[in-house]
Amino acid sequence: MSNVQTIRIGADEGDQRIDRWLKKRFPQLTQGAVEKMCRTGQLRVEGGRVKANTRIEAGQEVRVPPLPEGAAPAPAAKPRVKQSDAEMIQSCVLWRDEHIIALNKPPGLPSQGGSGQGDRHVDGLTEALMFGYKDRPKLVHRLDKDTSGVLLLARTDRIARALSEAFRHRLTRKIYWAAVAGVPHPRMGSIKYGLVKAPGRGRGGEGEKMMAVHPSDVAATEGAKRAHTDYAVLSALGGRVSWVAMVPVTGRTHQLRAHMAEIGHPIVGDGKYGGSGQENLGDGWGAQLGGEISRKLHLHARMIRFEHPITKKLITVTAPLPEHMARTWKTLGWSETDVPEDPFAETA
């Protein structure tokens, strides 16, 4: 029997069921064994009892009881990254040093594997980002599959822990850009609706969607979490569409998409939260603009600013817009150089 272990959930391991997390870590375990650990109170998160379907968050500590001996099944040999994929992911590097790599993740590429995602994702391509190091870099946060922009990877475990802590304690600064239907009023404000997962979605999390909960109802709503987004309108085309900067003060699943839809201004191209078949004809609702505007999601992680864990210097990384958003910006007459890097700081 192995000894009791205390394992901290990594930054790229949060927001999943504990039974799935445990079986990934220890493939020799059966579902029945995991459920027995939960029933008997041997498996605990932050000192508390859990059920097999309890969802874990990055940074939490899990007590794992002694496990039966027996080697885990030998992992299937992973194919090497295809040359075309290696060149693609290397071309996404915006900045790197011996500790950190910053990518401009393209839209359509998942951050990591999951239900229905297949084998082609950033985490699966990190072999091509070793650049002479013996270990593959590690994701320290995630972006939705269809969201583009700045994504950080740590080149060592020490840096991964430091950056994960910075994200957990909100010591990093992230600014997203989006095109949204209509023009939010006021033009600068905060959205503080809580979020709760909608019931009845796919068994493996596919089709996951979040529902907004009024701030006064969060405490009484099972599973709801408080969420906070700051936004600022940077430019607008009449009452039909606007360019919005957003800061996710909290980091909930689909937070920016759900929050903008809740206030009546869904992100352009967001069929999940803005209605895939609705064309926006004026201020207020509909995720599709029609004409020459792409139907892809117009959400981009534009900038991230963080203190370097080793040098202690303030690092700012900015990602250019993906092709479909750049075309929209050109069509609407918007220029990346016309707005401040941090519009919230400008008005502070």
**Residue 143, burial from CB neighbour count under 10 angstroms (0-12, 13-18, 19+):** buried
- CA gap 14, 17 in Å, rounded: 9
Residue 78 CB: number of other CB atoms within 10 A? 9
Cβ(230)–Cβ(342) under 8 Å?
A: no
Residue 216 DSSP code: G
Mean pLDDT, all residues of the chain: 88
pLDDT band of residue 76 (cuts 50, 70, 90) is very low
Q: How many CB atoms lie within 10 A of CB 173?
A: 15
**Average pLDDT, integer, range 80-84:** 85
Q: Is the model more confident about 342 or about 206?
A: 342
What is the pLDDT at residue 78? 52
Buried residues in 184-195 as b, exposed as e (16+ CB within 10 A): beeebeebbbbb
Residue 19 has pLDDT above 60, yes or no: yes
Would you call 144 a catalytic residue per the annotation? yes
**Cβ atoms of 307 and 166 closer than 8 Å:** yes
More confident residue, 79 or 17: 17
Q: Which range has the worst mean pLDDT, 45-49, 82-86, 113-117?
A: 113-117
Question: Helical H runs in 63-194?
Answer: 83-91, 157-168
Specify the pTM: 0.75
73 pLDDT higher than 70: no
pLDDT class for 205, splitting at 50, 70, 90?
very low
pLDDT tens-digit readout, 130-147: 988 888 999 999 999 999
* Per-residue pLDDT, 348: 47
| Whether pLDDT at 226 is above 70 | yes
Would the CA dihedral through 30, 32, 35, 37 be positive or negative? Answer: negative
What is the band of 276 on the pLDDT scale with cuts at 50, 70, 90?
Answer: low
Instruction: Please give the pLDDT value at position 159.
Output: 94
- 303: confidence class by pLDDT, cuts 50, 70, 90: very high
The pLDDT value recorded for residue 329 is 97
Q: Which of 12, 19, 123, 144 is catalytic?
A: 144
Residue with token string 């500590």: 61
What is residue 133's predicted lDDT score, i.e. its pLDDT?
Answer: 84
Overall average pLDDT of the 145-166 stretch:
94
Q: For position 172, what pLDDT does the model report? A: 93
Q: Determine the average pLDDT of the residues in 289-299.
A: 89
